[in-house]
């Protein structure tokens, strides 16, 4: 990406796009994490599903997420293709935000564990590589949330935040309030020292259905389409507000084509992991008819084939409990 940005070398841009596509379509788990045992495998051989029974070193989380944010941010800024933002938020909510914080003596979180039955553990050595990339990644959250363009600003991540800029026509800011991804609404308030024309581009994730985008309480004429940046170009004034609703639906994703019965449950961008001491078995309805507990931690409850209620929990809210990222579908 540096070769493209510095020299305009198209072949390097193609290499970055193709490399990322290979990573995403052949090496990635449902969380957006990739590369079990810090390796890539031959595509199409079922190596991801096989790794669930052979390895607990599923994704080197701080280093991998740091690299993932970096390549997706570059690709996003050059192409304005929102799939890179979708990929970034998948990694954010399901990998790095669930990493335990670094301890004062260098004790660090390293691998996410997607094994059939997994748990979070500390890494064996103090101050590993991941103790360096974790703070680097956190320090970059602000440049990943918003991107500038010649005609306005891209809102890429939905997080409580404020972005400010000054130019010849005045001083401006966007203030975002949201409890996303646990609530599906986002509000953006405009601050403007005087009215000015610019574009606000809002990422509409590919997984949503029938999103609603409004300005000052009125739905925008051009409907927001999943998998695009919705462009709102107008003269913005102090106090204008953008409201976005992104309906979330439960869905299943198999680990790979070779293991169609090993599936993970998602709601919007968030993977829901089964809290259990052994990998539970479900039928499809038992998963897709899960109910939210509204406990403020994003927990859901699913019913397994033996009739027991299983808590389904986002990775970021798991502590020491055993879990299964992928569960078995009854054959």
Question: Which of 124, 217 has the CB closer to Zn ion?
Answer: 124
Instruction: Tell me how far, at minimum, the Cβ of 66 lies from Zn ion, in Å.
Output: 8
Nearest Cα to Cα of residue 174 among 150, 211, 200 = 200
Q: State the minimum distance, in angstroms, from the CB of residue 132 to Zn ion.
A: 8
DSSP 176: E
Cβ atoms of residues 249 and 206 within 8 Å:
no
CA distances (Å), origin 180, targets 93, 233, 243, 254, 269: 10, 24, 13, 25, 10
CB of 70 to Zn ion, least distance (A): 14
Please, which residue, 136 or 216, has the CB nearer to Zn ion? 136
Binding site residues, Zn ion, CB under 5 A: 60, 63, 129-130
Residues 224 and 210: their CA atoms lie apart, in Å, by 8
> Closer to Zn ion at the Cβ: 180 or 315?
315
Minimum gap (Å) between residue 64 Cβ and Zn ion = 8
Token pair, residue 317, equals 């809210």
Determine the 3-state secondary structure of 64 from DSSP: helix
* Nearest to Zn ion of 112, 324 (CB atom): 112
Q: The tokens 């094994």 sit on which residue?
A: 115
Between 63 and 213, CB nearer to Zn ion:
63
- How is residue 131 written in tokens? 């103790």
Taking the C-alpha atoms of residue 198 and residue 148, their distance in angstroms, rounded to an integer, is 11
Give the nearest distance from C-beta 128 to Zn ion in angstroms: 6
Q: Which is nearer to Zn ion, 63 or 302 (CB)?
A: 63
Taking the complex as a whole, the smallest distance from the CB of residue 276 to Zn ion amounts, in Å, to 29
Q: Which DSSP helix (H) or strand (E) runs through 324?
A: strand 323-324
Residue whose Cβ sits closest to Zn ion:
63
């Amino acid at each position: 990406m540096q070769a493209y940005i510095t020299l305009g070398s198209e072949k390097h841009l193609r290499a970055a796009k193709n490399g990322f596509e290979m990573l995403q379509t052949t090496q990635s788990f449902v969380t957006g994490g990739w590369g079990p045992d810090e390796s890539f495998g031959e595509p199409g051989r079922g190596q991801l599903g096989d790794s669930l029974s052979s390895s607990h070193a599923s994704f080197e989380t701080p280093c991998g997420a740091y690299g993932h944010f970096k390549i997706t941010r570059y690709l996003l800024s050059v192409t304005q293709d929102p799939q890179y933002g979708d990929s970034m938020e998948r990694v954010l909510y399901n990998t790095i935000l669930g990493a335990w914080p670094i301890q004062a003596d260098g004790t660090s979180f390293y691998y996410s564990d997607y094994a059939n039955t997994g748990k979070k553990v500390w890494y064996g050595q103090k101050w590993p590589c991941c103790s360096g990339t974790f703070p680097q990644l956190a320090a970059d959250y602000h440049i990943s949330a918003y991107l500038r363009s010649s005609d306005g600003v891209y809102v890429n991540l939905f997080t409580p935040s404020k972005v400010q800029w000054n130019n010849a026509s005045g001083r401006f800011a966007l203030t975002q309030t949201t409890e996303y991804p646990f609530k599906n609404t986002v509000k953006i308030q405009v601050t403007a020292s005087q009215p000015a024309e610019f574009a606000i581009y809002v990422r509409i994730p590919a997984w949503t259905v029938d999103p609603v985008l409004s300005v000052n309480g009125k739905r925008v004429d051009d409907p927001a389409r999943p998998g695009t940046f919705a462009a709102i170009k107008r003269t913005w004034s102090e106090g204008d507000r953008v409201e976005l609703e992104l309906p979330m639906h439960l869905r299943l994703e198999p680990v790979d084509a070779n293991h169609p019965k090993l599936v993970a449950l998602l709601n919007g961008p968030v993977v829901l992991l089964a809290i259990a001491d052994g990998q539970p078995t479900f039928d499809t309805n038992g998963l897709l008819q899960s109910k939210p507990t509204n406990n403020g931690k994003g927990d859901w409850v699913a019913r397994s084939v033996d009739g027991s209620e299983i808590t389904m929990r986002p990775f970021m809210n798991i502590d020491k409990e055993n879990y299964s990222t992928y569960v078995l579908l009854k054959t």
